[in-house]
């Protein structure tokens, strides 16, 4: 059984998909499974990801149901202690999984660990650097005021706690990840990996 289940949701993402997959395969932490949930793509996303020769990749095509449903479908297939979600147009720092996994192993009561991030354009040019946020432990009230994680592609989450919450709320569009972060932080402390970007 792998230590981390990476859940990659795709929808008409052919122009980004292989680069995104590469940022998973090139992680310094290699004990993972990569679960690709295709949400009814009409382009050649499925053909592209199916062409990648790596036994850790598992591809599941579904009818279109939206991003929260895709994340929940991935969660149903996940087997690892920890889960990390990745949107099809996001990229990870090569030490993202390693560093967050180390933090959660050192803090067994934390529901998830997060890092800092930057926004880039399609050519990789820097658009925005976000101020470093160091909220940890009891961050419930901070998350109610602001989603300082910014994206579901950021944290590494304990799968058991996420399942106990019921996963992502499929009735919420555009903020289902923020809702999950709030609900997780309401029940457990969180952790941050300083000086490391996603």
Q: What is the pLDDT of residues 141-198, one digit of tens each?
A: 999 999 999 999 999 999 999 999 999 999 999 899 999 999 999 989 999 875 454 4
Q: How are the residues of the chain apportioned to helix, strand and coil, as percentages rounded to the nearest 5?
A: 35, 25, 40
In degrees and rounded to multiples of 5, residue 39 shows phi and psi of -95, 55
For 7, the token pair is: 């859940």
Sign (positive or negative) of CA dihedral 156, 164, 186, 71: positive
User: Which domains does the chain carry?
Assistant: 4-197 (3.90.550.10)
Residue 114 gets the label, from left (phi > 0), alpha (psi -120 to 50) or beta, of beta
Instruction: Give the C-alpha separation, 107 to 191, whole Å.
Output: 8
Predicted model pTM: 0.93
* Whole-number CA gyration radius for the chain: 16
Closest by CA position to 177, among listed 16, 9, 32: 9
Structure confidence by residue, pLDDT tens digits, 18-59: 999 999 999 999 999 999 999 999 999 999 999 999 999 999
Q: Of 131, 116, 146, 136, whose CA–CA distance to 185 is shortest?
A: 136
DSSP label at residue 27:
-
For residues 172 and 149, what is the distance between their CA atoms, to the nearest angstrom? Answer: 18
């Amino acid at each position: 059984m792998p230590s981390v289940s990476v859940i990659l949701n795709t929808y008409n993402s052919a122009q980004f998909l292989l680069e995104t997959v590469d940022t998973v395969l090139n992680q310094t932490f290699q004990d993972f499974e990569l679960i690709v949930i295709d949400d009814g793509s009409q382009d050649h996303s499925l053909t592209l990801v199916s062409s990648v020769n790596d036994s850790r990749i598992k591809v599941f095509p579904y009818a279109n149901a939206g991003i929260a449903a895709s994340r929940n479908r991935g969660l149903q297939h996940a087997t690892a202690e920890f889960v990390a979600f990745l949107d099809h147009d996001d990229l990870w720092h090569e030490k993202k999984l390693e560093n967050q996994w180390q933090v959660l192993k050192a803090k067994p009561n934390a529901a998830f660990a997060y890092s800092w991030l930057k926004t880039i354009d399609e050519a990789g040019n820097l658009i925005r650097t976000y101020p470093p946020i160091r909220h940890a432990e009891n961050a419930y009230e901070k998350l109610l005021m602001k989603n300082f994680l910014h994206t579901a592609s950021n944290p590494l989450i304990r799968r058991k706690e996420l399942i106990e919450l019921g996963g992502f709320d499929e009735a919420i569009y555009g903020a289902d990840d923020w809702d999950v972060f709030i609900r997780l932080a309401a029940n457990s402390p969180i952790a941050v990996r300083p000086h490391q970007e996603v």
